[in-house]
Structure 1
Amino acid sequence: MLSAARRPRRPAVRRRRWTAALGAVALVAGAASLAAPAMAAALAPVDFDTHCVPPPIAGIPPIDGTTTGEITVDNAAPKVGDTVKVTYTVVKPAASNPVDLALPADIMTPSGKVTLGGAQPGSVTVTGPKKNPPVPGKGAFPSFSMTGTFTVTKPGSITLSPGDYNIHTSYIMELDTPCTVISPPAPVSQTIVATDAPGANERTIQLATASGKPGDRVTVTGAKFTPLADITLVGRAGAAETADRMTVKADATGGFTAQPVVNDKATTGIVAYEGAAWDAAKGAGPAAYTVVDDTPLPENSQKLNASVAPGTLSMSQAGDTVAMSAVDFGAGGASTGDLKTVTVKDFRGGPAGWSLTGKVTDFTGPGGKIDAGKLGWTPACTTKQGSPSTCAAGSAGPVGSAGATLASTPNGALTGGEFTVDAKVSLNVPAYTAPGAYSGVLTLTLT
């Protein structure tokens, strides 16, 4: 999230999960495995009126009071089909211990609902552990958290608001204190932005046999390639290509049948792809194939076979908030900061490189919007010693809503390694922008 504001003479500073001050900019970048999503456009505790009904044994009437709640998520920019973990924290319950008897630790079990709105209306059931500090007689209930999950079914902005909750106590007897939102839905505490899942690569290959002697032909059948495209069939030894190679043309339906000769004893699989080099988005395989080496071993010798398992492409970041420098009202100019360091780990051990891109939304605030195109960056990328690939930083320039490349590595015979990515960011704030906090969302995507 990006947050910017204009500063009057005597600014007031508030500290929440991010740093936000008049004249400051906060940038929050997303985290992901193969893709790094944006953080939510809003994240803050909210107050809402609740109606709590003490257990009948308490002998007291219902309590109408204010609850303070907060919603957080583990993925603020999911794709359709992703599962999002939701945490509902009741920072300050409206209810309290309804009896004079003190309650010991770890006897409270909370449960509740989170209300979804926007692109995907609905609710999420959340529950919490049986855990609490001791509560004195007639004392206030402590803060507690509940978690649940939901699956994203539609793209767009999805709002999350605190909902009804119940406090169950298990001490001497089982008692419940349900609290309902008086005017549902409660204010929005969190907003996530869901996107459509990318189209799947449906290309497939099948082998007629899974093994053969050196020099044997193996029948390879392919389907759902681009019609009439040139298809390269190549032997693979782990992630590297072997000398076994053949080119065929797909038919009008995108299928093909070929019989390449497999000579290389190192071949452990066969891949097929469109284009001049392997591209996971335009290829299929590897289909496992074993070259049966029947060469007799020398007397009193043993053949040893070992393997290296491929890993994944992933990323992590050093934080989710970037506080940027202040800009004075009337002067305008650059509000600058440093992107939180992103670490990319490519342990796939294949021929494909990777690309890390980013895009940003407009900044919104009391004065309207600051255009996304006014945010620029100067990327930097460092490669860990010993990595097969070398990381290249993207070009300095605007990020905008269309996006720009932060860093990348090229395709190669064998790629991989560990990389750290940074960037200097700068928001060009127009002169006389109304004072206040301005917020936007930066989305990082690793492919």
Structure 2
Amino acid sequence: MASLPSTPRRRRWAALLGVSALVATGGGFLAPSAAARVEAAQAVDFPTHCVPPPISGIPPIDGTTSAEITVDNAAPKVGDTVTVTYTVTKPAAGNPVDLALPADIMTPTGKVTLGGGQPGSVTVAGPKKNPPVPGKAPFPAFSMTGTFTVTAPGSITLSPGDYNIHTSYIMELDTPCTVTNPPAPVSRTIVATEQPGANERSVQLGTASGKPGDQVTLTGAKFTPLADVTVAGRAGAAETADKVTVKASAAGTFTARLTVADKATTGIVAYEGTAWSDDKGAGPAAYTVLDDTPVPANSQQLTTAVAAGTLSMTQAGDTVRLTSVDFGRGGAATGDLHAVTVKDFRGGPAGWSLTGKVTDFTGPGGKIDAGRLSWIPVCATKAGSPSTCAAGSAGAVGTAGATLASAPDGALTGGEFTAGAKMTLDVPAFTAPGAYSGVLTLTLT
């Protein structure tokens, strides 16, 4: 705890202002038992230079701050929002005067320094809350919180940064405290990974039909480079014994020749590994086995075919105007996503998923983070469709994306569906006036 020589001038200002003597804390006060400890963190010490309000007549105080950084997610994916808590466990100084300081007069703000794969800083703030501080007593522990969005994979370091104490007691005063030798030591390291992308694998047949025992050529694209790929026949949702394994090229492509002997085969699939996976497979591509069983005497064999179609989507418009909000208030800018029609005319066992992701909203005041856009999806199924669609979960969209609607795998899938959503953009209160726009991209797989 730092102490200062007593002089008549200092005693006079201390009696008048009280909190102007709060010179070496780092944020809003919380009892140690209330401070969140979601993730283990390493306490670090660093020299701090704090400058009391000039009106107090107190010179700068140099001391050592002990602090730690905790996070709510130590293994985020790109696009995730991480909540950061900056806790000062031992301030660099205490109350340097004999006058007790009242409760709930201090509001802290500060910065957490980011390094490694995502250099930058996070703005943190604490509530206007502190216990009374007796004269000459050390200051209690306090915490500040803030959030940031992960933009790149890799290790991200977090270190305590500068902070400021705003006091509201008789007068509005600030006490800035800076890290003497920035950056301060690293208190927390998190590791970010890439967000899984949509499955873009595809397959195409050289011919759509053949007699039992004929070979069909199947080509694939956008598979994992050099992965082992299984090519198999499908009879509805079940696989047949017709199967072959090939290796994808360094570009993720392959060509396979499959002998189709099962007359019940209706399609051909390809997938990485030894078992089907929606995330690592493609197809089925429709295939018809031409029955070559001899026709009995005095009979005629009648045949027809139902041609498999495609999976497609259309949307009713490409521009959505959200409601306006007022500067200084901010809040919810709302609107409706234009209706999206999904037509699954493939006639196979595969379901589908419709996802969306949004960019940051940019405008004259910079940007509004993409994570502030949320939606409440809805989905309707046209009568007679073999499948039934399900709306995605309500919540944030963000750059990582979210599901708008989907339909599951089944013995026979397909149909026509209409998806939509109620959208809300949470605009910060003091966002600079002007028009802001972002792009919402929908992907059907």
Name the TM-score class by shorter chain. Answer: 0.3 to 0.5
Larger Rg over CA atoms: 2
Higher relative contact order (CA 8 A, sep 6+): 1
TM-score by length of 1: 0.45
Higher strand share: 1
TM-score by length of 2: 0.45
